[in-house]
Amino acid sequence: MGIRMDQVSFAYGEHMVLDHISLTVKSGDRIGIIGTSGCGKSTMLKLLSGLYASQSGRVEVEGETEITKIRQKVAMVMQNAMLLPVSIKENITCGHPMKEDCIQEAMEAAKLTEWIATLPDGMDTLVGERGNMISGGQAQRIAIARAIAKHASVVLLDEATSALDATTSEAVHMAIKNLTKGKTVLCVTHHMDNLINYDHIYRLEGGHLFDS
């Protein structure tokens, strides 16, 4: 089923960001999206994740067009990882019952295991206002683990490893690749190296998508 955008437009007030965009992504394909800062990449992923509703045109993800249903099909690592002031574990599971090995697998893929082992409370360490202060890269890796643990059929990555050093970023991208076999993946990045072996790369410019 995959993803389909049909003549989708989106504006913030008067500012048109996406101008009649059409895109078809086959189920299981990996697509890269590149483009200069402010061109609308995050806006496009927010539409595909069901965070925003399209203002005109049609967005279909895994056969769903209602945003509440789309949200269930999609796991997204947002550009600015948002964590809740609960434990690391709850940030990964989002309160859903989950097998321990599923959580471990996600933590390993996001290269969290070593760091968490150094914390006195491990996965039960609280993050946020009342808990430990954590770095941007640690927050980003928790968000990646959350997306992997969701086991959604569509995975959207918005500069998902931008706060990580080059070696960790590469390792995380490799792990994501292994764990998302057969899933539909859209990856927004400023680093083409992250898109090696992707099925197709598009460039977003002036509200339009171009082959790259």
With binding defined as CB under 5 A, does residue 49 bind Mg ion?
no
Please select the residue that binds ligand ATP; options are 25, 43, 116, 169, rule is CB under 6 A: 43
Partner whose binding site includes residue 150, from Mg ion, ligand ATP, none (CB under 5 to 8 Å by kind):
none
Binding map of ligand ATP across residues 11-30, x = CB under 6 A, - = no contact: -x----x-------------
The nearer residue to Mg ion, 42 or 184, going by C-beta atoms, is 42
Binding map of Mg ion across residues 75-104, x = CB under 5 A, - = no contact: ----x-------------------------
Q: Which candidate, 153, 173, 30, places its Cα nearest to that of 109?
A: 173
The 3 state secondary structure assigned to the chain is CCEEEEEEEEEECCEEEEEEEEEEECCCCEEEEECCCCCCHHHHHHHHCCCCCCCEEEEEECCECCHHHHHHHEEEECCCCCCCCCEHHHHHHCCCCCCHHHHHHHHHHCCCHHHHHCCCCHHHCEECCCCECCCHHHHHHHHHHHHHHCCCCEEEEECCCCCCCHHHHHHHHHHHHHHCCCCEEEEECCCHHHHCCCCEEEEEECCEEEEC
- Min dist CB 86 to Mg ion, Å, is 26
With binding defined as CB under 6 A, does residue 35 bind ligand ATP?
yes
With binding defined as CB under 5 A, does residue 42 bind Mg ion?
yes
With binding defined as CB under 6 A, does residue 49 bind ligand ATP?
no
Number of chain residues interacting with ligand ATP (CB under 6 A) = 11
How far apart (Å, rounded) are the C-alpha atoms in residues 111 and 105? 10
With binding defined as CB under 6 A, does residue 42 bind ligand ATP?
yes
With binding defined as CB under 6 A, does residue 120 bind ligand ATP?
no
How far apart (Å, rounded) are the C-alpha atoms in residues 49 and 70? 6
With binding defined as CB under 6 A, does residue 79 bind ligand ATP?
yes
186: which 2 tokens? 């859209």
- Min dist CB 133 to ligand ATP, Å, is 24
The nearer residue to ligand ATP, 2 or 35, going by C-beta atoms, is 35
Binding site for Mg ion (CB under 5 A): 41-42, 79
Binding site for ligand ATP (CB under 6 A): 12, 17, 35, 37-43, 79
